[in-house]
Amino acid sequence: MAFTLPKLPYNIEDGIEPAISGKTISFHFGKHHNGYVTKLNNGIKGTKFENSSLEEIIKGTFENEEFKGVFNNSSQHFNHSFYWNSMFPNGKEPSQKVKEVLANSFGSFEDFLKQFKQKAATVFGSGWCWLVADGKNLEIMQASNAMNPIPLNKKPLLVIDVWEHAYYLDYQNNRGGSIDKFFQVINWEFVEQEMKKAGLF
């Protein structure tokens, strides 16, 4: 099957205020993400993964040297699609239910935000910072390059992209500033939906 870019729940030109400009999303979605999708489709053509789902491809190519490029591009397609859904312009507060789930694992909602920022800010080089569920336990997972929770059989709940191309046009080398703004646009309804899927409530 041919993979395509996801439909975004907001207009690219408008950006994701107050965190990400339309210019950044235009480059990030239209160039970077689109490039991963194109390379993924080319990479699976004529292989055993040609008709596989995205998650099947990610699991099947993980730590497989022959399909290293396919793993990177399939993972980056998954990561970016999840990232776009993790945000919404002028985000609202999470529900009490979500706050309670986070407090159970991290002490309080505020402690979760502090720990998530610290982990996201200290990913070395290019990568991602995920909130994941491992059974009923929540973890903050640092991931280098294209890595994500899928090959580890953990459930993703939220992600921030800390590759430089995700924030450099708007924040230059101020990764911490971009993380603070990300907190203002988290799509907590999406996070709650993923928590339900993971059986957290």
**Binding-site annotation: residue ranges for Mn(2+):** 28, 80, 161, 165
| Separation CA 93–CA 136 (nearest Å) | 23
Residue 175, phi then psi, degrees to nearest 5: -60, -40
Residues 6+ apart with CB under 8 A from 117: 176, 179, 180, 183
Residues of each annotated binding site: 28, 80, 161, 165
Reduced to 3 states (helix: H, G, I; strand: E, B; else coil), residue 94 is coil
Reduced to 3 states (helix: H, G, I; strand: E, B; else coil), residue 132 is strand
